[in-house]
């Protein structure tokens, strides 16, 4: 018993730091950090991993200290994020999160930009050609630049009774979350889409192509994709869209 206690006093810190190192390495190797962070943050994660390795080396060579209430509090503080990480790993923001964060068709999500201002904004993206893949971020923020063009877009599916009642039973929302820094600040960019089969589940990833139009509702242009073709697709390697040059 004394030997076990002595080993615990000496090695509980490096073991705990080792658990953090294992979790962080797993996020990096599997690129799982993309579920909640911008790709650019990989540099900080690698730096954090190196710091953890240095802490482990220091803890191994440090003097054993009694495990008192203060040490127990530190252990609890460090273990709780690991537990949350185990539960949340592999999950991304979906239709449930969309329902909580969406501000409605009266605003452009991600920057809280009024839809009517976005539709008349002089800046447009290059949308030359037909049936081209276009980001939902561009469609929702600069819809006028794509009006009356044949495009394709990838997003998650959301069926909203209010949307169906206002725009028709076969109308649903196609959205993706736009991230500035991390999943905590992500907001959805969305358009309406017609022509999605009624039996497709919510949060399914969909690629829809067709004519993109601006429908006038109460003197507000609403972006609508009249899908001539639609198919369920796999979750993209990077499920989020990203604002550029925001920090």
CATH code, 141: 2.40.50.140
Domain end (from 54, 73, 88): 88
Domain end (from 60, 88, 116): 88
Say yes or no to pLDDT of 105 above 80. Answer: no
- The residue behind tokens 């949340």 is 88
178 and 72 part of one domain: no
Residues 6+ apart with CB under 8 A from 187: 101, 103, 109, 110, 111, 112, 177, 178
| Predicted local distance difference test score (pLDDT) of residue 151 | 93
44 and 120 part of one domain: no
143 and 48 part of one domain: no
| Predicted local distance difference test score (pLDDT) of residue 110 | 35
| Predicted local distance difference test score (pLDDT) of residue 75 | 84
Say yes or no to pLDDT of 109 above 50. Answer: no
Q: Which residues of 168-179 are buried (b: 16+ CB within 10 A; e: fewer)?
A: eeebbbbbbbbb
* Domain assignment present for 247: no
Q: Which structural domain, as residue segments, surrounds residue 123? A: 95-242
> The tokens of 59 are what?
């803890």
Mean pLDDT across the stretch 184-189? 90
Number of structural domains the chain divides into: 2
Higher-pLDDT residue of 115 and 107 is 107
102 and 204 part of one domain: yes
Say yes or no to pLDDT of 119 above 50. Answer: no
* Domain assignment present for 170: yes
226 and 133 part of one domain: yes
**Residue 88's pLDDT band (cuts 50, 70, 90):** low
């Amino acid at each position: 018993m004394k030997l076990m206690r002595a080993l615990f006093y000496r090695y509980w810190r490096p073991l705990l730091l080792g658990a953090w190192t294992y979790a962080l390495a797993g996020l990096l190797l599997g690129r799982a950090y993309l579920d909640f962070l911008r790709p650019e943050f990989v540099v900080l994660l690698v730096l954090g991993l190196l710091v953890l390795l240095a802490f482990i080396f220091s803890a191994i060579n440090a003097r054993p200290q009694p495990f008192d209430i203060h040490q127990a509090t530190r252990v609890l503080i460090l273990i709780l994020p690991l537990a949350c990480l185990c539960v949340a790993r592999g999950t991304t923001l979906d239709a449930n999160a969309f329902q909580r964060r969406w501000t409605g068709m009266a605003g452009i999500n991600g920057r809280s930009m009024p839809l009517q201002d976005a539709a008349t904004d002089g800046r447009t993206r290059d949308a030359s050609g037909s049936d081209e893949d276009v980001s939902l971020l561009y469609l929702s923020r600069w819809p006028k630049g794509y009006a009356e063009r044949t495009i394709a877009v990838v997003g998650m599916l959301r069926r909203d009774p209010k949307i169906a009642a206002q725009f028709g039973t076969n109308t649903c929302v196609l959205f993706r979350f736009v991230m500035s820094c991390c999943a905590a600040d992500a907001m959805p960019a969305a358009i309406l889409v017609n022509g999605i089969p009624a039996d497709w589940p919510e949060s399914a990833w969909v690629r829809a192509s067709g004519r993109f139009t601006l429908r006038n509702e109460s003197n507000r242009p609403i972006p609508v994709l009249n899908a001539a073709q639609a198919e369920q697709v796999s979750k993209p390697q990077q499920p989020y869209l990203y604002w550029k040059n925001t920090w």
